[in-house]
Amino acid sequence: MSAKGAAAKGAPTLAARVLELVASGQASSRAELAALLGAAPSTISLTV
């Protein structure tokens, strides 16, 4: 599997977690999402 395929495979999981955190009120900013998910803020920005 290519690196691009691996990234695309993981994207829905990250997007789902972002949605869960925002919907539940646990996070309301990209910085909070990045801290909670252990991801770079730039990665979060690509997801939202």
- Domain locations in the chain as residue ranges: 3-47
Query: What pLDDT was estimated at residue 1?
Result: 43
Q: Which helix (H) or strand (E) holds 44?
A: helix 41-47
Query: What pLDDT was estimated at residue 3?
Result: 47
Query: What pLDDT was estimated at residue 37?
Result: 94
Q: Tell me, what DSSP letter sits at residue 26?
A: S
Residue 43: phi, psi to the nearest 5? -70, -40
pLDDT tens string for the chain (48 positions)?
A: 444 554 556 556 898 999 999 999 999 999 999 999 999 999 999 887
Q: Three-class SS of residue 38?
A: coil
The pTM is what? 0.69
Query: What pLDDT was estimated at residue 48?
Result: 76
In the chain, the largest separation of any two C-alpha atoms, in whole Å, equals 36
Query: Which tokens is 39 given?
Result: 């991801």
